[in-house]
Structure 1
């Protein structure tokens, strides 16, 4: 193994690292565009249901090529850890037939030593442009602009070319979060006005309470940035991680214990738009497995024909636990701990603020492992020099 790695290292050393950077930019751009398009009504033009999965397979393959050609591993142990984690995640993905975790993992490793500021800029350009083009396409009638309303409500919710209003709201939240990271949560007065306007517009269009609250938290984090950073420093890695784990396990346990006849549970379930109820259905229909399983689901997004039996797991952490299995679930939790520790050790506190907001969002939505929504995990091994300390560069 050592001889093979030494031979590979010699080959890698002959390649100019800038070509690895260029390849990653292409791979990330291709993946973001493909996954973003899958969340729009342009899917109606796909030649088959398998088409988007084939496109994403190409992205995964290109990410693997980037890793093998340009990534430098310290020794065979580091390479073995990369392969072992990849295989464990792969087994969970095969079992549940959902490949987001594997592709995200490949992109995380491929992003090693890439400037995270560059990653954020590419994300904002592609997703921002994609949203504008999607809105225009729906307005011009090139794709369908879906509308719906909550049960018992007369309020109309607009998807504007995306597959569902809540997905649109989540897109805008994560785009706003990317901008906040890029600005290190330091906003000017015109930026605050713009952020407040976008927040109000998003809520009026989509009527999504979760993302309204999250976007308000982004704005609030900017206003009280220094105080929040001071609090994070006091909490340090230990208590920040513990509080994150308490939040994750509390939602899962509440979902498991949900009683439809209990008044308190009824109130919580209504506030969470029925997420506790449908999460508990997952526990009733399926057991938690070690290596993952197929969990048949019908979400509200897109167009449905005939009788429609809604069942969907919204909580990202519960989805990974039930679909990818316990092994993948604990890999994810360890990854969050590792990221918290890295942000703390390198004093990139603004990224820790963003991570806490991502965790909070993922307690109630399912976009944690979709790079075209949450791209923060790409910071695992990326270069974070721009975010070190508290001064704006």
Structure 2
């Protein structure tokens, strides 16, 4: 049995079929959560059937981890203890999406993250095209929204629950594609991404997702410079910066005052996200465990609610709806993600994490496995992404010999020329 090394993390290889069992379960749960954000639900598929499907896929993932995969007893105890704690916290908050997310993240141990990412990209990419086609042939409806400050502007969801769901889906598809390419794109990649972003923006008028994709393209364009800059700084700095950003996102909403012209202007740009974030933090008391909160959003086919209330920021949602314990647990796990990325020496993972953290300040998809695989980085096998140091040394040596040979040849030619003269 071969041994795989990921920094200081050692993963013992398993037979292919254990990995295939996990990937089959992952395809099922990913498809289910993807459909949950579309108008296939509940018109064509009931929530009851959807969650039964998710439960069946989850059982398959647990069977793979406990009974099929070769694990030490202490690993199985850790796995069961983690799932039990998450189940209890999810039960108290009446939100089991968090439980399913971490169940599949924990079960991804010893599974090739590259294969998980390929499945993730494939399901999202083809699923999005199928949803758009289903809306085009009127198999599912299309939700239409208007901006309060721009009543003449029409936003279309293209078969998703809301225009924001569609635009965020496009952003995360592009982000996962760039990670697959290790942020090294060809001209046709840039062209395709820019055209997709333009079409998405015209359809949804999603300003924040459009801006994020624009920043992502710039970051990819100057990736060699970004890579050098990131590697000069300790991973602790990047982790601390992320935590400060998350806390600042919460504190700005908490101290939001409409009388403050600067904050009020930011609130307008962010489509009143500060207003509703402030309402959530002041209206509901924070507790160690979460609590269910009734929201009245624009998603779905119901008429626009008169008493609209929706928490867009993932961090405020996490703190208020999942509780302080889960919030702190996520921050701790985030540290270990940065630590593991440091061991792999893969800069592109940092960029992937940064853009998820940035996007989650404005959208609610931080812990939605159909949108991102952030915490899968903590448990999955990352070997495919680790730079091959030996190959790099050989390539550099080859270049050095080539340059030296050219130099000798040039010098030799000059010497002969001088001798002839």
- Superposition TM-score, scaled by structure 1 size: 0.91
- Could you say which residue in structure 2 is the equivalent of 1:218? 216
Structure 1: unaligned runs, 5 residues or longer: 1-12
- Could you say which residue in structure 1 is the equivalent of 2:106? 109
Question: Is the 1:93–1:101 contact (alpha carbons within 8 Å) kept by the matching residues of 2?
Answer: yes
- Could you say which residue in structure 2 is the equivalent of 1:93? 90
Question: Could you tell me how far apart the structure 1 residues matched to 2:14 and 2:379 are?
Answer: 19
* Length, aligned pairs only: 379
Q: CA deviation at 1:91?
A: 2.1
Question: Is the 1:71–1:110 contact (alpha carbons within 8 Å) kept by the matching residues of 2?
Answer: no
Alignment of 1:111-260 (within 5 A): 111-153=108-150, 154-260=152-258
Q: CA deviation at 1:112?
A: 1.1
Query: C-alpha offsets along residues 282-338 of structure 1, whole Å, 9 cap, x if unaligned?
Result: 122211110111111122110115854211111111111111111111111111111
Q: CA deviation at 1:181?
A: 0.3
Question: Could you tell me how far apart the structure 1 residues matched to 2:282 and 2:115 are?
Answer: 44
Query: Is 1:69 equivalent to 2:67 in the alignment?
Result: yes
Question: Could you tell me how far apart the structure 1 residues matched to 2:284 and 2:261 are?
Answer: 26
Alignment of 1:1-393 (within 5 A): 17-46=15-44, 48-76=46-74, 78-153=75-150, 154-305=152-303, 308-389=306-387
Q: CA deviation at 1:57?
A: 2.1
Question: Could you tell me how far apart the structure 2 residues matched to 1:388 and 1:39 are?
Answer: 33
Structure 2: unaligned runs, 5 residues or longer: 1-11, 393-421
Q: Residues 306 and 266 of structure 1: is their aligned pair in 2 closer, same or farther, counting only changes over 3 Å? A: closer
Question: Is the 2:106–2:379 contact (alpha carbons within 8 Å) kept by the matching residues of 1?
Answer: yes
Question: Is the 1:92–1:293 contact (alpha carbons within 8 Å) kept by the matching residues of 2?
Answer: no
Q: Residues 306 and 240 of structure 1: is their aligned pair in 2 closer, same or farther, counting only changes over 3 Å? A: closer
Question: Is the 1:256–1:280 contact (alpha carbons within 8 Å) kept by the matching residues of 2?
Answer: yes
> What is the root-mean-square deviation of aligned Cα atoms in Å?
2.1
Q: CA deviation at 1:162?
A: 0.6
Question: Is the 1:88–1:328 contact (alpha carbons within 8 Å) kept by the matching residues of 2?
Answer: no
Q: CA deviation at 1:169?
A: 0.4
